[in-house]
Amino acid sequence: MSVGVFASPGNAGKGSFGFRLGDVQPHAFKSIDFANTKGLKPDYVADALSLKSPLSRKNLRLRLKFRGRLYAQTDEVSEENLEEDDGFEEEFEEEFEEEFSDEETAEVYDPLEGYNRTMHGFNDWFYINVGFPVARGYRWVVPEGGRLAIKRFFHNILFPVRFVNNIFQFKILNVGEETLRFSVNTTVGLLGFFDPAKSWFGLESHDEDFGQTLGHYGVGGGVPIVLPFLGHTNLRDTISLYPDYQLDPLHGGSYPNQALNQGTTIYSPDTYQELGVTIFEYVNEYSFRVEEYEAFRKDAIDFYLFMRDGTEQARNQEIKE
């Protein structure tokens, strides 16, 4: 009997591991869990097909589809059950083939796979041996409420990225809602540490970045790329990091300093300060994702392919939205 992972879509902001935060949430399962309805919730999968014996009602097979690709299958088939279910098996296979067309399961063009797998392995080592131990210690010191407030602050400060890219895509209603959210959360929400815009007024965030803007206008993702520390992405989104970085007040945005012997103002970010803020932001984010990542790592048949394909499909879904 094989064990796999299934995931649920979400829509929270940019994250590490090549996924957008909230885009995927892992849940380990066994076929017996499915038969006993343990842990399996409808919102965890895009589509699921199960094969059960019409006589014994035992679960024989479970196949899961996450945004168009087969990610996991459990098999628990005995000779007795196979004899019982020959006709039902054929019917199931026909239904399954209709659900999973050749277009949906097309091979990904990955000319950099050798490099990508090496970098994926390095990132995996770093997360397990450095990032997550630090995040666990940080999580032990800082309570969840404080970490959530910090996470909201960093999300709020990225307003320029969301604002500009919603304008680029002519999503005018989203622009207005984002502006109201930022105004309310920056003032009443104390610089974004709280989110009264959503809890009081129902104003939702509309996370858009330059990669999504390019995708909105038909620019394909290009070849998959694994970046050091940042994880899985593609060529389009790698190029898009620069304009988004320049719109980020804490990272690309510079602060004024007086030039020597000049009465003018120049802009030169402090590299060490910026690095410290970035590390703190990632440690805070890692503190929410330790178990999630470890579940992916443990249960994926090919962890590299799982992360690569899951990232691409999640991004495609974000572009459609």
Task: Parse the chain into domains and list their residue ranges.
Answer: 4-99, 113-320
Contacting residues for 56 by C-beta, under 8 A, at least 6 apart: 81, 84
Q: At what angle do helices 144-157 and 271-299 cross, to 10 degrees?
A: 120
Tell me the per-residue pLDDT of 60-107, one tens digit each, with 9 for 90 and over.
344 444 433 344 444 444 444 444 445 545 655 565 555 444 444 567
pLDDT at residue 278, as a whole number: 92
Split at pLDDT 50, 70, 90, the class of 238 is: very high
Tell me the per-residue pLDDT of 124-151, one tens digit each, with 9 for 90 and over.
999 999 999 999 999 999 999 999 999 9
Q: At what angle do helices 159-168 and 172-187 cross, to 10 degrees?
A: 170
Asked if 286 contacts 231 with a C-beta cutoff of 8 angstroms, the reply is: no
d(CA 239, CA 279): 22
SS3 letters across the chain: CCCEEECCCCCCCECCCCCECCCCCCEEECHHHHHCCCCCCHHHCCEEEEEECCCCCCEEEEEEEECCEEEEEEECCCHHHHHHCHHHHHHHHHHHHHHCCCCCCCCCCCCCHHHHHHHHHHHHHHHHHHHHHHHHHHHHHCCHHHHHHHHHHHHHHCHHHHHHHHHHCCCHHHHHHHHHHHHHHHHCCCCCCCCHHHHCCCCCCCCCCHHHHHHHCCCCCCCEEEECCCEEEEHHHHHHHHHHHHHCCCCCCCCEEECCCCCCEEECCCHHHHHHHHHHHHHHHHHHHHHHHHHHHHHCCCHHHHHHHHHHHHHHHHHHC
Pairing outcome for strands 69-75 and 59-66: antiparallel
Q: Which of 254, 36, 41, 287 is nearest to 140 (CA)?
A: 287
pLDDT at residue 164, as a whole number: 98
Which has the higher per-residue pLDDT, 281 or 263?
281
Q: Assess whether pLDDT exceeds 90 at residue 262.
A: no
Q: Which of 3, 13, 157 is nearest to 71 (CA)?
A: 3
Rounded alpha-carbon distances, angstroms, from residue 65 to 62, 71, 76, 138, 269:
10, 6, 19, 36, 46
Q: Assess whether pLDDT exceeds 60 at residue 210.
A: yes
Most confident listed range (13-27, 31-45, 83-97, 107-121):
107-121
Asked if 54 contacts 84 with a C-beta cutoff of 8 angstroms, the reply is: yes
Query: What do you get for the CA distance between the two ends of the chain, in Å?
Result: 37
Q: Assess whether pLDDT exceeds 80 at residue 299.
A: yes
Which has the higher per-residue pLDDT, 153 or 104?
153
Q: How many Cα atoms occupy the beta-carbon half-sphere of 39 within 13 Å?
A: 14
pLDDT mean across residues, the chain: 75
Identity of residue 252? G
Q: Assess whether pLDDT exceeds 90 at residue 183.
A: yes
Asked if 306 contacts 11 with a C-beta cutoff of 8 angstroms, the reply is: no
Asked if 31 contacts 54 with a C-beta cutoff of 8 angstroms, the reply is: no
Please, what is the Cα angle at 297 between 3 and 17, to 5 degrees?
135
As beta bridge partners, residue 266 has: 257
